[in-house]
Chain A
Amino acid sequence: MFNYTFRWNQALKSLPQMLEGALVTMEIAILSMVIGIAIAIVLTLFRLSPLRPLRAVAAVWVEIARNTPALFQIYMVHFGLGSFGIHLTPYLSLLIGIAYNNAGYLTENFRGALTAIPETQTRAARSLGMTSLQAFRHVVMPQMLRIAFLPMTNQMVWAILMTSLGAVVAMNSDLYGVANDLNARTFRTFEIFAIAAVIFYLITKTITISARLLAARLFRY
């Protein structure tokens, strides 16, 4: 039926290499989420701040992250910063690119979550003698992170998927990079990327399912 000879052997032989790549992919995704969440919390504070310049920084960050392609952002981190003499390794370019994107989207998610937290709570905390930062830290933020848990898992999945864009900045140790390199060498495109696709699917499914289980445990009221 097919005028095509599958050569699964050759592709399967590189499975260990791809699994190693999968670890790098997960590492980048996790790191980019940790950095992204940290920055998003700061940007959320900026947004709530009475200082106009801080609000502007947050707005510019969020709007650029949300309104340009992630591929563009990663390319920009590598070659855009590169023209200013700032040289980042492929790994760092990809990590920073994804973290930048994560931070933008998460800030927006946090904004949504904040609308669900009554203003009165902050006022109550302030009247107990907390500073506004303390009120945010101890009263608002824990709830915000809880409400935004589901969007955060989605973003984590996005982060995994975005690691595939690293090839444009010469990244070749993550899962997509390994597959892409093998493809450039052996041209068994279908077999190699089919295996990579299955691994990606398993990773993202593991994340969504464990997040659901975690949510069920953590957020029992």
Chain B
Amino acid sequence: MKRTFVMAGALALAALTMPAKADKLDDIIASGTLRCAVVLDFPPMGFRDENNQPVGFDVDYCRDLAKALGVEAEIVETTFPERIPALMSGRVDVAVASTSDTLERAKTVGFTIPYYAFENAVVANEKSGIESWEDMKGKTIGATAGTYEAIWIEGRLKEWGAGEFRPYQNQADVFLALSQGQIDATVSTVEVAEANVKSGKFPGIRIVDKAPMVPDYVGLITLREEYGLINYMNLFINQQVRTGRYQELYRKWVGDGEPADLTVKGVYR
């Protein structure tokens, strides 16, 4: 009698301590917190309010995801170059950080279906004399290191064989440098460019042109092998659109009008 009791106890203990191949989705639910990397120098997607609390489209999106999972959301601020390293180092569970779904990145992290799509604009300092995107030829252009825009600009400058590229370590420094006239122009998403111009905090900057880039689809990211979580998030994004929450968040943070279509014509997924 006593022996079976001990054995049963040992078995129960083993069952409790042995990790039964729990994946990240289980871990998040078990821990009760969803840790999201969000970029907070990227208004209106992510920024800080007067109390220095994180707010914005991406912040709300993370909170919605946490709510769906039935856990608390924890916002971890990262810069653009830091968001994937933060994910890889396990400091966050997912990044809700307007991450463009490039094939290069997909070698390292796992993308969901797009949850937002950007158009990119050329933002110039008024003194630079830049009127169209082609005027960037031969000028000093800045962007945040490693971003979709940065890679595009570097490609153009290389093609033109004229001009200087400056990779700053975060988005805020790019606009600071642009406003100070240290760089002549940058390429940024229309939403962010408009928010920054409208804020009036960056005197002398102006949106001059659309950048002729392929629409910038951005996805949520997590570790490459976390299919369970990616699957969950794909459905979550689908539900956000289906329930009208996507549009609601768009109206709240970006403005009136229709948010971008998240489907690509003529191809699956």
Query: A and B touching (C-beta < 8 Å)?
Result: yes
Stretch at the interface among B51-59, B111-119, B168-176: B168-176
Contact of A187 among B105, B151, B173 (CB under 8 A): B105
Residue B259 lies at the interface, judged by CB distance under 8 Å to chain A = no
Q: Looking at the complex, which of A14-22, A31-39, A166-174 is the stretch in contact with chain B?
A: A166-174
Option from A89, A90, A181, A189 in Cβ contact (under 8 Å) with B88: A189
Cβ–Cβ < 8 Å partners of A184 in chain B: 81, 145-146, 167
Q: Is A186 an interface residue (CB 8 A)?
A: yes
Q: A167–B151 Cα gap in the complex (Å)?
A: 17
- Contact yes or no, A181 B145, CB < 8 A: yes
CA of A46 to CA of B169 in the docked complex: distance in angstroms?
38
Within 8 Å of chain A (Cβ to Cβ): is B108? Answer: yes
Q: Which residue of A lies closest to B150 (CB)?
A: A184
With the chains together, A89 CA to B146 CA distance in Å? 20
Contact between B180 and A82 (Cβ–Cβ < 8 Å)? yes
Contact check: which of B84, B109, B168 meets A170 at CB < 8 Å? Answer: B168
Q: Contacts A79-B176, A90-B166, A170-B166 known; A183 to B181 CB distance under 8 Å?
A: no
A170 touches B177 (CB 8 A): yes
A220 contacts chain B at the CB level, 8 A cutoff:
no
Contact (Cβ within 8 A) A187 B108:
yes
Residues on A with C-beta less than 8 A from B176 are 79, 82
The residue from B146, B168, B182 contacting A185, defined by CB atoms under 8 A apart: B146
A156-184 vs B, Cβ < 8 Å mask (1 yes, 0 no): 00000000000110101000000011011
Interface residues of A in 71-108 (CB under 8 A from B): 78-79, 82-83, 85, 87, 89-90
The 9 closest A-B pairs by CB, nearest first: A184-B146, A170-B166, A82-B180, A184-B81, A184-B145, A187-B108, A170-B168, A87-B182, A187-B84
Q: With A82-B182, A186-B104 as given contacts, are A181 and B167 in contact (CB-CB < 8 Å)?
A: yes
For residue A90, which residues in chain B have a CB less than 8 angstroms away from its CB?
A: 166
B142 interface contact, C-beta 8 A: yes
Once the chains bind, are B88 and A187 in contact (CB under 8 Å)?
A: yes
Contacts of B104 in A (CB 8 A): 185-186
Q: Does chain A have a CB within 8 A of B85?
A: yes
